[in-house]
A = this chain, B = another copy of it.
Amino acid sequence: MSNRVVVLVSGGIDSATALAHAKNEGYDCFALSINYGQRHVCELKAAAAVTQQVGVIEHKVIDIDLTKIGGSALTDTDIAVPSEPIAGIPITYVPARNTIFLSIALGWAEVLDAQNIVIGVNAVDYSGYPDCRQAYIDAFENMANFATKAGVEGKHFKINTPLIDLTKSQIIQLGHSLHVDYSLTISCYDPDHHCKACGVCDSCRIRADGFRKANLADPTHYRDSQNT
């Protein structure tokens, strides 16, 4: 059985922690980032920095322009990123994003003869996102084993979600114990052109709260003095 794993790395806290966790478990890590036309390239810079810090065999960036599809505040500049918490499924939900990302990861995993894929979804980041639930991950894994040559030949693809039941502060504590340098990561939905965080969007709030509850200093680079 192959010791290789494909890890989706976004540049945020969760995927950085999931990558460090896979590395710590002894896997040969192949990191995959998707340049999907997100509002800023800060995520991709962060992904490159994180993969270098943790150490991977290869870091691949695949381009797919989801702004052509739109439908989300993250992929349509006509839709504003909200600065207040929102009920239900947020406007930052990108239609089918995790499905598209996992599908690309599946293709690469098959080429690499890797049977494991890691995605850093979790209950807090869920925030109402349907494609961060375990039921969704299970359905994707089932589909993946019908989709592929490897699946037909009896190899079983596994979609690993090591963080799915952890709170943000537990994730931060785990990553801290694995020496993840979170100053390299970015969570903000709306950073400035220096990649400094706004401090007010949903994602910034969850992140700041996570460091607070983990009793760890928040290394986030905020713009102005918005670090509350």
Chain A residues engaging chain B, CB cutoff 8 angstroms: 60, 62-66, 68-71, 89, 93-100, 103-104, 106-108, 110-111, 130-131, 133, 135-136, 139-140, 142-144, 146-149, 151-152
Contact = CB atoms under 8 A, between A and B. Distances in A.
Contact of A146 (B65, B111, B135): B135
B143 A111 contact: no
The A interface is mostly helix, strand or loop, or mixed, namely helix
Contact of A142 (B131, B133, B143, B152): B143
Contact of A152 (B60, B64, B130): B130
A65 B63 contact: yes
A62 B68 contact: yes
B62 A69 contact: yes
How many protomers of this protein does the assembly include? Answer: 2
A5 to B, nearest CB: 16
Contacts of A70: 111
A30 to B, nearest CB: 11
Contact of A65 (B62, B89, B131, B151): B62
A96 B100 contact: no
A130 B146 contact: yes
Nearest 10 A/B pairs, CB to CB: A96-B107, A71-B111, A95-B110, A139-B143, A136-B146, A95-B107, A64-B64, A96-B106, A100-B103, A99-B103
B143 A96 contact: no
A104 B100 contact: yes
Contact of A100 (B66, B68, B107, B111): B107
Given A66-B107, A70-B111, A143-B143, 20 more contacts: A62-B69, A63-B64, A69-B104, A69-B111, A71-B107, A95-B108, A95-B110, A95-B111, A95-B148, A96-B103, A96-B107, A96-B147, A99-B143, A100-B100, A100-B104, A130-B148, A130-B149, A136-B147, A139-B147, A142-B142
